[in-house]
Amino acid sequence: MKNLFITSINPGVGKSTFTLALALKLKQDGINVGYFKPITDSSRDTDAKDAKDLLSMEEDLEIICPQIVSAFEYDMKMEQVEEIKASIMESYTKLNETYDLLLIEGCRKINYLAFLGISAPELAQMCNSKVLLVSSGEEIEDADRLLLGKRYLYQDQLLGAVFTLVPDELFQHFKTFIIPVLEEKKDLHVYGLVPNRSTLVAPTVAEIQSALNAKILAGGGHMDHLVEDYMVGAMEPEAALKYFRKSTKKAVITGGDRPQLALAAMETDTSVVILTGSIRPPAGVLARAEEKEIPVLLVADDTFHTVKRLTDVNVYGKIHSDQRDKIDAWNEIFVDVEYKQLLERLQD
């Protein structure tokens, strides 16, 4: 069985979450599967740690993800590139000897680091892997981008593709028109569609707390709540309850000097209350939060800048072994992904 190299056309399409979810699914099916990310572009990348925890891998993180190469290092000498390749191959050999199948995740997007000769197609060739392309399906034009991505690959390297984040209104169109054309006229097999579901990429309260560097005031034992929406509390208290009921599993962001809004949010389906301006609420607010099992976070920024930070950093959730609701959600979507057929083609 060849290994599977998973790369994407653009960043932010759920490639990491899809890779980890597929790894977990294969492990549940009894396959001795490992995870490998040859290169990351950031020291803050947690993909290797997430995979190590999720799959109970015993290897050090430096083996699972041996290299960090940022876009600022395009001027490195070729001797350094050869050292990077040697390090990658050393880690790959160790992992390949341990696992029956390696899921190898590419960095950012398919053409990243092509200038240095270590882009996804080149790494896949080094690691004797077939390639699965992950593309957004948020709009019809994503089919064009997928075909463009196909051109980056070497001959006979591509195994197929998966569309992610497909909205409900486009799901049937992709299924009945776009995919048949790709398969019959473009020689590109599509293994399935992942619907656009907030639970698949929703962050936990803990991930939001980390992104904001927020202080936990209450509800620290419930940081695994998923956050599927953000709402700003800036209205009059008497209108708050009706407003907050419009959304579920939400983060409510409001000033620390608005305790009545925080209390109103807690009477609805709220995952976390984020208080801004470094203003601590009255003790009664924190007591109610503990009673309702809702975390309360405190940040120094004002409400506007807190919301801006959350949208700027694109807080996407990861899949973890103890998040049963997210794991169950990903298992459900594999009904529409022919992952067993993908494995069969890997064995050819």
Task: Please give the domain boundaries of the chain with CATH numbers for all domains.
Answer: 3-200+318-347 (3.40.50.300), 203-312 (3.40.1390.20)
**How large is the average pLDDT for residues 229-246?**
90
Name the pLDDT band for 147 (thresholds 50, 70, 90).
Answer: very high
Residue 322 has pLDDT above 70, yes or no: no
The mean of the pLDDT values for the chain is 90
Name the pLDDT band for 20 (thresholds 50, 70, 90).
Answer: confident
**pTM recorded for the entire structure:** 0.75
Judge residue 59's burial from the number of C-beta atoms within 10 Å of its C-beta, 0-12 exposed, 13-18 middle, 19 or more buried.
middle
Name the pLDDT band for 13 (thresholds 50, 70, 90).
Answer: confident
pLDDT at position 45 is 83
C-beta of residue 95 within 8 angstroms of C-beta of residue 36: yes
pLDDT at position 317 is 57
Tokens linked to 192: 């399935």
Name the pLDDT band for 89 (thresholds 50, 70, 90).
Answer: very high
Tokens linked to 4: 């599977």
Residue of 317, 310, 318, 320 whose CA lies nearest to 213: 310
Query: Which of the two residues, 303 and 317, has the higher pLDDT score?
Result: 303
Query: Which of the two residues, 264 and 207, has the higher pLDDT score?
Result: 264
Judge residue 29's burial from the number of C-beta atoms within 10 Å of its C-beta, 0-12 exposed, 13-18 middle, 19 or more buried.
exposed
Cα maximum dimension of the chain = 67
At residue 205, what is the residue type? Answer: V
pLDDT at position 316 is 57
Residue 198 has pLDDT above 70, yes or no: no
Residue of 271, 185, 282 whose CA lies nearest to 231: 271
Q: Which residues contact 330 (CB under 8 A, 6 or more apart)?
A: 17, 21, 24, 25, 200, 319
**What is the rounded radius of gyration, in angstroms, for the C-alpha atoms of the chain?**
22
Residue 66 has pLDDT above 60, yes or no: yes
Name the pLDDT band for 291 (thresholds 50, 70, 90).
Answer: very high
Q: What string of H, E and C letters represents the secondary structure of the chain?
A: CCEEEEEECCCCCCHHHHHHHHHHHHHHCCCCEEEECCEECCCCCCHHHHHHHHHCCCCCHHHHCCEECCHHHCCCCHHHHHHHHHHHHHHHHHHHHHCCEEEEECCCCCCCCHHHCCCHHHHHHHCCEEEEEEEECCCCCHHHHHHHHHCCCCCCCEEEEEEEEECHHHHHHHHHHHHHHHHHHCCCCEEEEEECCHHHHCCEHHHHHHHHCCEEEECHHHCCCECCEEEEECCCHHHHHHHHCCCCCEEEEEECCCHHHHHHHHCCCEEEEEEECCCCCCHHHHHHHHHHCCCEEECCCCHHHHHHHHHHCCCCCCCCCCCHHHHHHHHHHHHHECHHHHHHHHHC
